[in-house]
Amino acid sequence: MLEFEWPWVFVLLPLPWLIRRFTRPVNSAQAALQVPFIDDFAGPGRLDVEHAALPRTRLIGGILIWLALLTAAASPRWVGEPIELPIKGRDIMLAVDLSGSMERRDFTLEGKRVNRLMATKVVAANFIQQRVGDRIGLILFGSRAYLQTPLTFDRQTVITLLREAVTRIAGNDTAIGDAIGQAVKHLGDKQGDRILILLSDGENTAGKIDPIKAADIAAQDGLKIYTIGIGAGGRRFGVDEKTLTQIAQQTGGRYFYAGNTQELKQIYAIIDRLEPVESDNRTYRPVKALFYWPLALSLILSLILMVVPPWTGVTHEY
């Protein structure tokens, strides 16, 4: 929208009229230059100097010039729509287990039996959607770990790629240590708060890096790890809770266990509270100065009036 930085300038609009109204005009008899033979010009065709009407074109031009100058002095500017600035939040990496055991249909979602991966996708997607201002990345791991999505503010892309993940695509086993190593690789040289949320339903059975050694490296780099173990109906066999707990403790995070979808939702809600998003949304509105347009108009009008004969429109007596 259009706005003026100094709108009070427009109170000067009637200034020329006030000067003309309340100041005495210069009398020709008081002029410094006396022309003794001025009366010789009397007679038909004599120009009535004292009663000459101000030319209409010059009057309108003067008004427009004054208005243009005041408009320029008021500093007009065009203010654009608010633009939200990226909030300096956290760097969060999600590591999701895609081993064969994640195919077990022992979770319930909206009254239907689903496998562990599907429940994880839905709950994790809701978590990602709420992390406005954070950069989110995605690591998928099975027998090996790989970076699926680098850190990005584009939460929807991360959600889409998470939903497209399928079990066994990275192998049938579980390489927890390699998943942590990937997170350290992509988060270790960053500044600010860095978090890894690692979810697995098994124990480390593959990979080149020992999970505890990887956790030591993560701790040295200031990377906090929250670990989540999942299983059916509270039956915790198959989940290496000891290792997952030690990983979390070494890095300043916490270990959680989810036996059903509701518990998994609660865990992500707890992490969301432990690592709150920035609430101070900042915006800015682009501003474009426009003062040069009325200033240029006043200059053009002044040049036009300079070439218009000063007697144009003057009243003559015959």
Model pLDDT for residues 20-64, shown as the tens digit of each residue: 888 876 555 554 444 444 444 444 444 444 444 457 778 888 889
What is residue 309's predicted lDDT score, i.e. its pLDDT?
67
Using 70 as the pLDDT threshold, list the residues of the chain that sit under it: 25-54, 84-88, 232-236, 278-282, 309-318
What is residue 44's predicted lDDT score, i.e. its pLDDT?
47
Residues 6+ apart with CB under 8 A from 298: 64, 65, 68, 69, 72
Which DSSP string do the residues of 141-183 spell out, in sequence order?
Answer: ESSSEEEEEEEES-HHHHHHHHHT--TTTT-SS--HHHHHHHH
Element (H, E) at 186: helix 176-187
Domains of the chain: 2-81+285-307 (no CATH), 91-274 (3.40.50.410)
What is residue 26's predicted lDDT score, i.e. its pLDDT?
58
pTM, rounded to two decimals: 0.62
Q: Which two tokens stand for residue 139?
A: 């690591």
What is residue 65's predicted lDDT score, i.e. its pLDDT?
92
Model pLDDT for residues 149-170, shown as the tens digit of each residue: 999 999 999 999 999 999 999 9
What is residue 80's predicted lDDT score, i.e. its pLDDT?
85
Residue pair 91/190 in contact (Cβ under 8 Å)? The answer is yes
The CA-atom distances, in angstroms, between 136 and each of 61, 85, 122 are 62, 17, 16
Amino acid at 110: E
Residue pair 88/192 in contact (Cβ under 8 Å)? The answer is yes
- The rounded distance, in Å, linking the Cα atoms of 140 and 167 is 10
